[in-house]
Amino acid sequence: MTAIAHDPVSNRVSGFVLDDGSSIQGDVYVSAMPVHSLRKVLPDSLRDFAYFDNLKHLKGSPVITMQLFFDRRIAGVDNLLFSAGTHLSVYADMAMVAPEYHTEDTSIMQFVVAPAEKLIRLPDDELVAFVMEEFRRLHPIAREAKLLKHTIVRIPNSVYQALPGVDKYRPDQAGPVPNLFLAGDYTQQHFLASIEGATISGLRCIDRITAAQANGTLIPAGEPVLEY
Protein backbone atom coordinates (compact mmCIF):
# COMPACT_ATOMS: atom_id res chain seq x y z
CA MET A 1 0.00 0.00 0.00
CA THR A 2 1.29 3.44 -0.93
CA ALA A 3 -1.36 5.77 0.53
CA ILE A 4 -4.53 6.03 2.56
CA ALA A 5 -7.19 7.94 0.63
CA HIS A 6 -8.99 10.21 3.07
CA ASP A 7 -11.82 12.66 2.36
CA PRO A 8 -11.44 15.53 4.83
CA VAL A 9 -14.99 16.80 4.12
CA SER A 10 -16.73 13.60 5.20
CA ASN A 11 -13.79 12.59 7.40
CA ARG A 12 -13.84 9.06 6.10
CA VAL A 13 -11.32 6.80 4.42
CA SER A 14 -12.37 6.07 0.85
CA GLY A 15 -9.74 3.49 -0.04
CA PHE A 16 -6.26 2.05 0.31
CA VAL A 17 -4.07 2.89 -2.69
CA LEU A 18 -1.93 -0.03 -3.85
CA ASP A 19 1.50 -0.12 -5.44
CA ASP A 20 0.10 -0.40 -8.98
CA GLY A 21 -2.04 2.71 -8.56
CA SER A 22 -5.29 0.86 -8.06
CA SER A 23 -7.24 1.11 -4.83
CA ILE A 24 -9.40 -1.15 -2.73
CA GLN A 25 -12.59 0.03 -1.06
CA GLY A 26 -14.50 -1.23 1.94
CA ASP A 27 -16.81 -0.17 4.72
CA VAL A 28 -14.18 -0.51 7.45
CA TYR A 29 -10.41 -0.09 7.10
CA VAL A 30 -7.78 -1.54 9.44
CA SER A 31 -4.08 -0.76 9.37
CA ALA A 32 -1.95 -3.52 10.90
CA MET A 33 1.29 -2.11 9.51
CA PRO A 34 4.26 -1.29 11.71
CA VAL A 35 4.07 2.27 12.92
CA HIS A 36 6.96 3.47 10.74
CA SER A 37 5.24 2.05 7.65
CA LEU A 38 1.91 3.61 8.58
CA ARG A 39 3.48 7.05 8.91
CA LYS A 40 4.69 6.86 5.30
CA VAL A 41 1.18 6.44 3.84
CA LEU A 42 -0.67 9.04 5.92
CA PRO A 43 -2.01 11.98 3.89
CA ASP A 44 -1.69 15.52 5.22
CA SER A 45 -5.40 15.59 6.08
CA LEU A 46 -4.85 12.77 8.59
CA ARG A 47 -1.65 14.29 9.96
CA ASP A 48 -3.75 17.29 10.98
CA PHE A 49 -5.16 15.08 13.74
CA ALA A 50 -2.92 14.84 16.82
CA TYR A 51 -3.91 11.15 17.00
CA PHE A 52 -1.94 10.49 13.80
CA ASP A 53 0.65 13.25 14.09
CA ASN A 54 1.80 11.88 17.46
CA LEU A 55 2.91 8.68 15.75
CA LYS A 56 6.12 10.54 14.87
CA HIS A 57 7.20 10.05 18.48
CA LEU A 58 7.21 6.24 18.09
CA LYS A 59 10.56 5.36 16.56
CA GLY A 60 11.51 1.94 15.24
CA SER A 61 14.48 0.11 16.72
CA PRO A 62 17.19 -1.40 14.47
CA VAL A 63 17.41 -5.18 14.80
CA ILE A 64 19.55 -7.85 13.15
CA THR A 65 18.62 -11.48 12.67
CA MET A 66 21.41 -13.96 12.07
CA GLN A 67 21.73 -17.67 11.44
CA LEU A 68 24.97 -19.49 12.20
CA PHE A 69 25.36 -23.04 10.89
CA PHE A 70 27.67 -25.26 12.99
CA ASP A 71 29.09 -28.72 12.40
CA ARG A 72 27.84 -30.01 15.78
CA ARG A 73 25.19 -29.51 18.43
CA ILE A 74 25.74 -26.41 20.54
CA ALA A 75 22.96 -25.32 22.87
CA GLY A 76 21.19 -28.66 23.24
CA VAL A 77 17.89 -26.99 24.20
CA ASP A 78 14.68 -27.36 22.19
CA ASN A 79 13.28 -24.00 23.22
CA LEU A 80 13.87 -20.26 22.98
CA LEU A 81 16.81 -18.94 24.97
CA PHE A 82 17.20 -15.44 26.39
CA SER A 83 20.38 -13.77 27.58
CA ALA A 84 21.21 -10.81 29.79
CA GLY A 85 24.22 -8.57 29.41
CA THR A 86 24.74 -9.43 25.74
CA HIS A 87 23.32 -8.35 22.38
CA LEU A 88 21.87 -11.84 21.82
CA SER A 89 18.46 -10.93 23.17
CA VAL A 90 16.77 -14.15 22.09
CA TYR A 91 18.00 -17.16 20.15
CA ALA A 92 17.25 -20.80 19.43
CA ASP A 93 18.70 -23.84 17.72
CA MET A 94 16.44 -24.18 14.68
CA ALA A 95 17.70 -27.73 14.18
CA MET A 96 15.92 -28.62 17.43
CA VAL A 97 12.90 -26.32 17.62
CA ALA A 98 11.73 -26.33 13.98
CA PRO A 99 10.87 -29.68 12.37
CA GLU A 100 11.66 -28.42 8.86
CA TYR A 101 15.24 -27.65 9.95
CA HIS A 102 15.72 -30.81 12.01
CA THR A 103 19.15 -32.44 12.00
CA GLU A 104 20.62 -35.08 14.28
CA ASP A 105 24.06 -33.71 15.10
CA THR A 106 24.43 -30.14 13.82
CA SER A 107 23.09 -26.77 14.97
CA ILE A 108 21.47 -23.86 13.16
CA MET A 109 21.57 -21.09 15.72
CA GLN A 110 19.23 -18.22 14.96
CA PHE A 111 19.68 -14.96 16.85
CA VAL A 112 17.82 -11.72 17.30
CA VAL A 113 20.67 -9.26 17.79
CA ALA A 114 19.56 -6.17 19.70
CA PRO A 115 20.13 -3.41 20.53
CA ALA A 116 21.71 -3.03 17.13
CA GLU A 117 22.13 0.72 16.59
CA LYS A 118 25.93 0.44 16.75
CA LEU A 119 26.11 -2.92 15.00
CA ILE A 120 23.84 -2.70 11.98
CA ARG A 121 26.42 -0.97 9.76
CA LEU A 122 29.27 -3.35 10.57
CA PRO A 123 30.60 -5.46 7.68
CA ASP A 124 29.38 -9.06 7.71
CA ASP A 125 32.68 -10.53 8.90
CA GLU A 126 32.94 -8.13 11.83
CA LEU A 127 29.33 -8.71 12.80
CA VAL A 128 29.77 -12.49 12.73
CA ALA A 129 32.93 -12.20 14.82
CA PHE A 130 31.10 -10.01 17.37
CA VAL A 131 28.16 -12.42 17.69
CA MET A 132 30.48 -15.43 17.87
CA GLU A 133 32.44 -13.84 20.71
CA GLU A 134 29.29 -13.24 22.76
CA PHE A 135 27.88 -16.67 21.89
CA ARG A 136 31.06 -18.46 22.95
CA ARG A 137 30.88 -16.76 26.35
CA LEU A 138 27.37 -18.17 26.78
CA HIS A 139 28.16 -21.60 25.29
CA PRO A 140 31.88 -22.46 25.59
CA ILE A 141 31.33 -25.61 23.50
CA ALA A 142 30.97 -23.30 20.49
CA ARG A 143 34.73 -22.64 20.70
CA GLU A 144 35.30 -26.18 19.49
CA ALA A 145 32.69 -26.04 16.71
CA LYS A 146 33.31 -25.18 13.08
CA LEU A 147 31.17 -22.40 11.60
CA LEU A 148 30.00 -23.69 8.21
CA LYS A 149 28.10 -20.67 6.90
CA HIS A 150 25.93 -17.77 8.02
CA THR A 151 23.03 -15.57 6.94
CA ILE A 152 22.36 -12.00 8.08
CA VAL A 153 19.24 -9.85 7.76
CA ARG A 154 19.45 -6.21 8.80
CA ILE A 155 16.15 -4.56 9.79
CA PRO A 156 16.59 -0.77 10.16
CA ASN A 157 13.09 -0.33 11.65
CA SER A 158 11.74 -3.13 13.76
CA VAL A 159 9.50 -2.81 16.84
CA TYR A 160 9.01 0.65 18.29
CA GLN A 161 11.39 1.81 21.01
CA ALA A 162 9.73 1.96 24.42
CA LEU A 163 11.55 5.14 25.39
CA PRO A 164 10.67 7.23 28.47
CA GLY A 165 7.65 9.43 27.81
CA VAL A 166 6.44 7.87 24.55
CA ASP A 167 3.73 5.65 26.04
CA LYS A 168 1.28 8.58 26.03
CA TYR A 169 1.59 8.76 22.23
CA ARG A 170 0.50 5.17 21.65
CA PRO A 171 -2.89 5.49 19.93
CA ASP A 172 -6.12 3.80 20.81
CA GLN A 173 -7.29 1.29 18.21
CA ALA A 174 -10.15 3.66 17.33
CA GLY A 175 -9.36 7.24 16.45
CA PRO A 176 -10.93 10.37 14.96
CA VAL A 177 -11.84 8.79 11.60
CA PRO A 178 -14.99 6.66 12.00
CA ASN A 179 -14.11 3.92 9.52
CA LEU A 180 -10.36 3.63 10.16
CA PHE A 181 -8.91 1.49 12.94
CA LEU A 182 -5.37 0.59 13.96
CA ALA A 183 -3.83 -2.66 15.17
CA GLY A 184 -0.26 -3.37 16.17
CA ASP A 185 1.79 -3.74 19.32
CA TYR A 186 2.51 0.00 19.29
CA THR A 187 -1.19 0.78 19.91
CA GLN A 188 -2.65 1.00 23.40
CA GLN A 189 -2.61 -2.28 25.35
CA HIS A 190 -0.86 -3.44 28.48
CA PHE A 191 2.19 -5.01 26.81
CA LEU A 192 5.10 -3.34 25.07
CA ALA A 193 6.43 -4.40 21.67
CA SER A 194 5.78 -8.14 21.49
CA ILE A 195 3.80 -10.84 19.76
CA GLU A 196 1.49 -10.89 22.76
CA GLY A 197 0.94 -7.15 22.48
CA ALA A 198 0.17 -7.40 18.77
CA THR A 199 -2.39 -10.14 19.44
CA ILE A 200 -4.11 -8.15 22.17
CA SER A 201 -4.19 -5.06 19.95
CA GLY A 202 -5.94 -7.08 17.25
CA LEU A 203 -8.57 -8.27 19.72
CA ARG A 204 -9.10 -4.74 20.98
CA CYS A 205 -9.41 -3.55 17.39
CA ILE A 206 -12.20 -6.09 16.82
CA ASP A 207 -13.94 -4.82 19.95
CA ARG A 208 -13.76 -1.27 18.64
CA ILE A 209 -15.14 -2.19 15.23
CA THR A 210 -17.92 -4.32 16.71
CA ALA A 211 -19.00 -1.54 19.05
CA ALA A 212 -18.83 1.07 16.27
CA GLN A 213 -21.02 -1.08 14.02
CA ALA A 214 -23.50 -1.63 16.84
CA ASN A 215 -23.69 2.03 17.84
CA GLY A 216 -23.29 3.60 14.45
CA THR A 217 -20.88 6.11 15.95
CA LEU A 218 -17.16 6.47 16.56
CA ILE A 219 -16.00 5.12 19.88
CA PRO A 220 -14.27 7.93 21.78
CA ALA A 221 -10.67 7.04 22.56
CA GLY A 222 -10.27 6.02 26.17
CA GLU A 223 -13.61 4.26 26.65
CA PRO A 224 -13.27 0.87 28.35
CA VAL A 225 -13.10 -2.22 26.17
CA LEU A 226 -12.95 -5.91 26.92
CA GLU A 227 -9.44 -6.83 28.04
CA TYR A 228 -7.82 -10.16 27.13
Q: pLDDT tens across 170-194, in order?
A: 999 999 999 999 999 999 999 988 8
* Statement: residue 228 has pLDDT above 70: no
Q: Is 167 helix (H, G, I), strand (E, B) or coil?
A: helix
Every domain of the chain and the residues it spans = 3-59+161-215, 63-155
Beta bridge partners of 151: 67
**pTM metric for this prediction:** 0.80
Q: What digits encode the pLDDT tens for the residues 26-45?
A: 999 999 999 999 999 999 99
C-alpha to C-alpha distance for 107 and 87, rounded to whole angstroms? 20
167 in Cβ contact with 185 (< 8 Å): no
User: What's the CATH number of domain 3-59+161-215, 3.30.360.10, 3.40.50.720, 3.50.50.60, 3.30.70.3450?
Assistant: 3.50.50.60
What is the fold of 63-155? Answer: Polyamine Oxidase; Chain A, domain 2 (3.90.660)
